[in-house]
Structure 1
Amino acid sequence: MNAVRIIIIAKEPRPGLAKTRLIPALGAQGAAELADRLLHHVVTQALAADLGPVELCVTPDRRADYWHHWHDNDRLELTEQSDGDLGQRMATAARRGLASGLPVMLIGTDCPQLEAPKLQAMATTLMKQDACLCPVLDGGYSLLGLRRFDASLFSDMPWSTDQVTTLTRDRLRQLGWRWHESEPLWDLDEPDDLVRLQHYPSLSGHSI
């Protein structure tokens, strides 16, 4: 399998900053603890996929104490997100990753189903396409793979709405690119999503 750079777009799991839509169900501390477990899960799966470099692209500050222990993993590159909205930050990370000479797969931390076999399968499809996409049930996506860059995929996008995947498809079509989509996955954004954690005991912790 050809190498792919996995770029994990991550937010420090700080109370009041991470998974804020889950605060009504879990409280600020509980939401942050779940965000921490989700982050560890996705890093573990990305490394287990063994596809190539794994980059942890973080906000708001990679010098924060939380990130210090991640520096000890020599298989992980720790970078900082750029300024701007989510689209600008993702675009910067994608452009920088592609400039290293490898296709990239941008992933978040909210989708436990992005396990190593799924990442490997998406990387395989990316070798034959311009892009690949893992939609999620709420209308967004959990993975965007790219072999080339175009800013239209990230600009003027209504992030955190049910239009993200539809608009991304439209823009891929307008570019004339070929892409592969997986079956829709689920992610953890709203309190109603928490019931799905019963399938992932290691993520449920004691707060749920």
Structure 2
Amino acid sequence: MTSEAADRYRRRADAFERKVVSVRPDQWSNPSPCEKWTARDVVRHIIDMHGVMLRPLGRSLSPAPSVDDDPVAAFRAARADVEAVLDDPSLAGEPCETFAGPMSAEQNIDQVVSDDLPLHGWDLARATSQDDTMDSEDVERAWAVMKAIPPELLERFRTPGAFGPGVEVFGPEAEVPEGATLQDRLLAFVGRDPRWRP
């Protein structure tokens, strides 16, 4: 029996993987809504974050093709490494020190890379002209989380480099018209322009 967090991760990873599989070879260098990142860089970031989730456990990503050679195989290998942690109760429950304080490996995965998958799935879909509709459950859950972030932490999230060189968590909040969908409001909150097109 898997946990709710493991099931949520799998569902989101499945959705992200479908988008990675659907990228045409000529689209990998397309610009993405994340300034300075191509479509390939979005996948690279997600894979790198899978590695970050393993680090507190003394683990690292298994040998796999690079995202430059085979983005699909690279993502599948990274998700298998994280799923191995989620499927092992002793590893999933392992305590981790994180910037948000101590939590279990499972909670860290759930709150970081799992929560990242729908947002970066939107980036990848928008960069490569795929359906960019996010799961409504994920949007509502993320909106509730965003609205609960304390102002001082939110300020750090919006400060480039606050969590390390080159790390930018959120951009400045974008403007959306009154009556915008919750998905668009969420994207704007984290610094995306919902109207962005390549």
TM-score, normalising length: structure 2 = 0.31
Normalising by structure 1, report the TM-score: 0.30
Q: Which has the higher helix share?
A: 2
Q: If each structure's strand is expressed as a fraction of its own residues, which one has the higher value?
A: 1
